[in-house]
DNA sequence: GTCTATAAAACGATAGAC
DNA sequence: GTCTATCGTTTTATAGAC
């Protein structure tokens, strides 16, 4: 249990707590369903029934389906961003832990990444599912994320650790490699996962 | 015009030809719409009206929406496969032309790749939109495509041109980089495209 | 070959009971 | 806070006219 949740349990009345937890449960279910079936493929009924709710009851917590999409993508992006921000050290070490974190996260929220790409730059973005302000916010998260990679790579070039020429191309290539990983690899336990992460990071370092 | 189409023009009656062209037009429109809005986001109405047809008229040519999806993905995959099969030469030269072809193709059918990934391994595959036999066929195309990269890389390792250790990881990393390209780059003319392709292939060769 | 009309189902969303 | 009932719309798909 997170610290804030623990505090919440002490000071807030039960119904507020329940409401707050329910909201989170719904977002988690939305992430699952949107990831598994796509935004248009997943129905509010699917999401609601996954946590034993009727689809009508969802509307008590969130006012529309697109808000659910925004909250879902926002949650994932922010969690990933926070994790990456926590990666420190010399350029090489920092990038290594960023890559490990990114891979781990991608496999945890398994296959949510295509959804995110789609919301940020793909089909859903073109269709205008989200309001401009929401899109702008999510894109900023993504930009911040890319910025972290950018800084690390640039620092490594400056210090002479890395020899790559074009920072932008390099960063997006690394992200391309990492994003594509869940499509073809599916490590089933920690041992396989560790071996896989080692291989992937080795490959990425060849770009630097 | 392809050879078979040229022959067709000579020997087949007009209405058969027209029917055949219409079928192709519909698939092209389906590719556009599915790529732009996703399979679930695109409606038969969208597809039909893009080529001045009513949605009901589509059913004369194809019996359901999922057949349209299969035909669309099948067309792209086979065209790409054929192009890649045409790339020959020593490992390095062969891989280079394969990468160029892949990038060119991806930007031409701009943003169809996420759809394909989704049909092969993602949301649509999990939801069982396509019949097992259709899925199996498309996966085989994809496997054949990966096989071409695999052979080229393996040949380069054998000849001593490449120093990479794990063929599989390398191949999927290259494909990851190339697939991700349309998400962040959008060259607007041939000059920009050429410069971009050079940068991307340079990056990929660092993996080899 | 393409159209109109329409069926049948699914979906997002709202109103109101409890 | 959650449910039932229901509305309005959209969507896939079919039947039949021309």
Q: How many residues does chain A have?
A: 208
pLDDT at A11 over 70: no
Q: What is the CATH number of domain B65-208?
A: 1.10.357.10
For residues B196 and B104, give the distance between their C-alpha atoms in angstroms, rounded to a whole number: 11
Chain B: nearest CA to A59, how far in angstroms? 22
Nucleotide showing the shortest C1' distance to residue B13 CA: C1
Which residues are CB-neighbours of B2 under 8 A, at least 6 positions away? none
Extract the tokens encoding A58. Answer: 């969802």
What digits encode the pLDDT tens for the residues B92-142? Answer: 999 999 999 999 999 988 778 889 989 998 899 999 999 999 999 999 999
CB of A63 under 7 A from strand C? yes
pLDDT at A84 over 50: yes
- Would you state the pLDDT for residue B114? 87
CA of B123 to C1' of C14 (A): 30
Q: What is the CATH number of domain B1-63?
A: 1.10.10.60
What digits encode the pLDDT tens for the residues B127-138? Answer: 999 999 999 999
Provide mean pLDDT across the span A47-72. 96
**Interface contact B177-A178, CB threshold 8 A:** no
Tell me which of B37, B39, B176, B199 to substitute to probe the interface with A (most A C-beta atoms closer than 10 Å). Answer: B176
Return the residue matching tokens 């793909």.
A122
pLDDT at B9 over 90: no
CB of A57 under 7 A from strand D? yes
**Which CA distances in Å does B18 have to A73, A168, B59, B95, B118?**
46, 48, 16, 39, 32
> In this prediction, what percent of chain B has a pLDDT beyond 70?
90
Instruction: Name the band, by pLDDT with cuts 50, 70 and 90, for residue B3.
Output: very low
**Report for A121-125, B3-7, B71-75, B117-121: range of highest mean pLDDT:** B71-75
Which residues are CB-neighbours of B133 under 8 A, at least 6 positions away? none
- Would you state the pLDDT for residue A129? 95
Ramachandran quadrant class, B48 (left: phi over 0; alpha: psi -120 to 50; beta: rest): alpha
Provide mean pLDDT across the span B183-202. 95
- Would you state the pLDDT for residue A15? 47
pLDDT at B172 over 60: yes
> Angle at Cα A67 formed by Cα B112 and Cα A124, nearest 5°?
10
What digits encode the pLDDT tens for the residues B46-87? Answer: 999 999 999 999 999 999 999 999 999 999 999 999 999 999
- Would you state the pLDDT for residue B110? 76
For chain B, give every domain's residue range: 1-63, 65-208
């Amino acid at each position: 249990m997170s610290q804030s949740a623990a505090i919440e349990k002490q000071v807030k009345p039960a119904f507020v707590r329940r409401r707050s937890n329910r909201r989170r449960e719904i977002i988690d279910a939305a992430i699952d369903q949107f990831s598994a079936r796509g935004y248009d493929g997943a129905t509010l009924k699917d999401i609601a029934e996954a946590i034993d709710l009727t689809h009508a009851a969802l509307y008590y917590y969130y006012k529309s389906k697109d808000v659910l999409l925004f909250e879902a993508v926002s949650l994932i992006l922010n969690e990933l961003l926070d994790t990456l921000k926590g990666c420190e050290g010399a350029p090489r070490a920092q990038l290594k832990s960023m890559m490990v974190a990114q891979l781990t996260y991608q496999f945890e929220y398994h296959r949510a990444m295509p959804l995110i790409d789609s919301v940020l730059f793909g089909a859903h973005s073109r269709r205008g599912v989200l309001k401009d302000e929401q899109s702008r916010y999510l894109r900023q998260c993504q930009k911040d994320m890319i910025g972290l990679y950018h800084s690390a790579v640039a620092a490594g070039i400056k210090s002479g650790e890395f020899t790559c020429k074009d920072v932008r191309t390099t960063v997006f290539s690394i992200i391309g490699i990492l994003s594509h990983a869940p499509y073809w690899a599916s490590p089933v336990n920690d041992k396989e996962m560790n071996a896989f992460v080692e291989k992937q990071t080795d490959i990425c370092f060849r770009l630097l």
